[in-house]
Copies of this chain bind each other. A is one copy, B any other.
Amino acid sequence: MSARNVFYAQSGGVTAVINASACGVIETARQHPALGTVYAGRNGIIGALREELIDTSAVSDATIAMLRHTPAGAFGSCRYKLKGIEQNRAEYERLLEVFKAHDIGYFFYNGGGDSQDTANKVAQFSQEMNFPITCIGIPKTVDNDLPLTDTCPGFGSVAKYIAVSIREAGLDVASMSESSTKVFVMEVMGRHAGWIAGAAGLAAEHEGDAPHIIVFPEIPFDKPAFLAKVKSCVERYGYCAIVVSEGAHYADGTFLADAGGKDAFGHTQLGGVAPFLAAQIKAELGYKYHWAVPDYLQRAARHIASKTDVEQAYAVGKAAVEFALAGKNAVLPIIVRESSNPYRWSIAEAKLSEVANVEKKMPRDFISDDGFGITALAREYFAPLIQGEDYPPYADGLPRYARLEHTLAPKKLPPWNH
């Protein structure tokens, strides 16, 4: 049997290390004659539907190697979830047509729970249609909310960025607090799970260190308890540094960020939860405040990526190719923790069906009794994930990231009408 080609796509929100997974896929595939050309979906799975296939064989080994230290999605990603096969059979048929037209036998889908679900459906559908495609997932999500795997590539680097940032900003506020800012609120990602917020807790190693308060989406927001804790921190330490998850909400499920006023245009998207909480503190306690919302900066911050995270992101890309070559299907590589201290990990496999559409939240015993901090157990879990620095190369004071030409494979099919 001649070598069949590969289709790789990035899905959902990008991370500081998703390109390291792409690098792992492409570098590994290039070493195996059983695999033909690696095509990457332009803007993710949309690229397959539109038959916009980036021909990575046009990219030099040196540029592919740079993907390891390049943040964001080098081929473009998308927020596009395929519906169920029954609801939208045409999309699955189109995917298969494109795969057939380009002799694609392997589909690697690099994303979160939704994407693993899609990959699983493509595997099933291709079997039914007698054009079997080997479908392998590659885990990715800054939210760290996939089940089974010990952690998700992308998370460790956000965790490191957030912990470093609150340590640094905490020192700043401490310096200013005698005569100026007393409260600092930093908003972090994580709409449903508080992993990122929790990792910020690593910055606090001694009594009084920032952050003093973490607001988790797992714990309904208790305003009086929160304000009392802010007050007690300011009285004890002179200032209070707070990390709040964007998903913080009241007991009835309303997001804090949605509870504020409307902006000049009547939109509620305006207010983040950080400015909202800061204003509440000012109104109730009178403290001068500053707030920060790093937003995309946190998940794109390759300059301060976790070396552990980069290695794991690469490893899952490499393992995905090796799984395919070993004849596995409808699985994804996951990270297994063998030991926390010293940290040892390995790669295992899990079924796509078991990872799809399940959300892993912070366990209650990772959160302190008062709901505003992390426990020793959480610290043991988080600590290895931010280990090591993996600086990108710099020139003229700025990191040198890969610039990929998107050379598209010639189209063979009529345009996609959807």
Contact = CB atoms under 8 A, between A and B. Distances in A.
A297 to B, nearest CB: 5
A292 B293 contact: yes
A391 B304 CA distance: 10
B172 A202 contact: no
A270 to B, nearest CB: 5
A295 B297 contact: no
A290 B292 CA distance: 14
A319 B70 CA distance: 40
A362 interface: no
Contacts of A301: 165, 168
A112 B229 CA distance: 35
A322 to B, nearest CB: 26
A20 B234 CA distance: 28
Nearest to A292: B295
A77 B206 CA distance: 22
A389 B388 contact: no
A43 B238 CA distance: 12
Contact of A264 (B261, B264, B290, B398): B261
A299 interface: yes
Given A10-B175, A179-B80, A282 B306 contact: no
Interface residues of A, number: 85
A167 B399 contact: yes
Contacts of A174: 72, 76
Contact of A389 (B79, B261, B267, B394): B394
Contact of A272 (B169, B180, B275, B388): B275
A263 B44 CA distance: 39
A263 B276 contact: yes
A270 B275 contact: yes
A14 B73 contact: no
A290 B246 CA distance: 13
Contacts of A276: 263-264, 270
A13 to B, nearest CB: 7
A197 interface: no
Contacts of A267: 279, 282-283
A74 B173 CA distance: 11
A263 B383 CA distance: 38
B264 A296 contact: no
Contacts of A264: 259-261, 276, 279
A260 B263 contact: yes
A105 to B, nearest CB: 26
Interface in A170-196: 171-176, 178-180, 184, 186
Contacts of A78: 176, 178-180
Contacts of A386: 396-398
B179 A72 contact: no
A163 interface: yes
A48 interface: no
Nearest to A184: B296
A378 interface: no
Contacts of A70: 171
Contacts of A389: 391, 394
Interface in A1-47: 10, 13-14, 16, 43-44, 46
A102 to B, nearest CB: 20
A164 interface: yes
A23 to B, nearest CB: 15
20 contacts: A10-B175, A14-B176, A71-B172, A77-B175, A78-B178, A165-B300, A168-B303, A202-B396, A259-B264, A260-B264, A261-B261, A265-B283, A267-B279, A270-B278, A275-B275, A294-B297, A297-B297, A306-B397, A383-B397, A387-B396
Q: Lowest 7 A-B CB distances belong to which pairs? A: A73-B175, A386-B397, A72-B171, A292-B295, A168-B300, A43-B178, A78-B179
